[in-house]
Amino acid sequence: MIYNYYALMVAIFRKCTPEQAFELLENGKLKRMKLNNDDIAYMVELKKELTYKEIGEMYGLSPDAVHNRIRRFKRQIS
């Protein structure tokens, strides 16, 4: 049970998903996630309140990768 609380704390402080928090606790690092259009659409919404760096930390991406994915997504839906 305590392991779940650790994962919750990691998720809150790292601003990541619970799955990513468990992965971080188990492996000590986050692996790169495969993202679909729904994930990138959510990144667009997150960008209204967070920086590229903060979003990147959530998804295990660099700030530049987040910026490029959002830019390509916006270009795709236009």
Give Cα separations from 43 to 10, 35, 56, 60, 75 (angstroms).
20, 10, 9, 13, 14
pLDDT at residue 74 is higher than 90: yes
Structural contact between residues 27 and 68, judged by C-beta atoms closer than 8 angstroms:
no
> pTM of the predicted model, to two decimals?
0.62
Computed from CA positions of residues 72, 74, 76, 78, in that sequence, does the dihedral angle turn out positive or negative? negative
Give CATH for domain 33-78: 1.10.10
Span 66-75, average pLDDT: 95
* Average pLDDT across the chain, whole number: 84
| Domain ranges (residues) in the chain | 1-31, 33-78
